[in-house]
Structure 1
Amino acid sequence: MKRLSILASALFLISSVTISCRDTSDKETIVREVEVEKEVKTPEEAEEKEGILERTAKEVDKEINKEIDEEIDKIGDDN
């Protein structure tokens, strides 16, 4: 029985040493640079991709900005 426990201990010790000292494979990380071309759009192309709500909102913004500018001109410069 004593031989069996010594043999089991030796087997456990040898297996743990060989497993823990094993070479681990290093993973290599490859980083690639990718160039992204920016699309140059003409105003007509940009309008085609916009929906009717976006175009309407732009027109309303222009009109409101004109009215605000007129009100500012009416008030004048207080300085």
Structure 2
Amino acid sequence: MKKLVALGLAAGLVSLSACNSSPAEQAADNVEAVADNIADNLEDQADNATTEAGAEALENQADAVEDQADNVAADLRTNDADTNLSNGI
């Protein structure tokens, strides 16, 4: 029971910390979350692929999705949306 309360408390703290993040940070987090879901689905498909080449292609695609999402998220975090210039300058 104590572990359940601790887990609930931790989940509450995580959700509160998300409230203080900027819209750009929230958007970046959303991009990464969606990409992780897509990559997980591709990796599941790779696990069920009938050929080694097919599995490797799906794994490579999953890696590419994650890399692209990382780039987009980093761009969202470092660029000012109003001026579209890095670091808000």
Shorter-normalised TM-score: what interval? 0.3 to 0.5
TM-score norm. by structure 2 comes to: 0.36
Question: Using CA pairs below 8 Å that are at least 6 residues apart, which structure has the higher relative contact order?
Answer: 2
Q: Which has the higher helix share?
A: 2
TM-score norm. by structure 1 comes to: 0.40
**Structure with max Cα Rg:** 1
Q: Which has the higher strand share?
A: 2
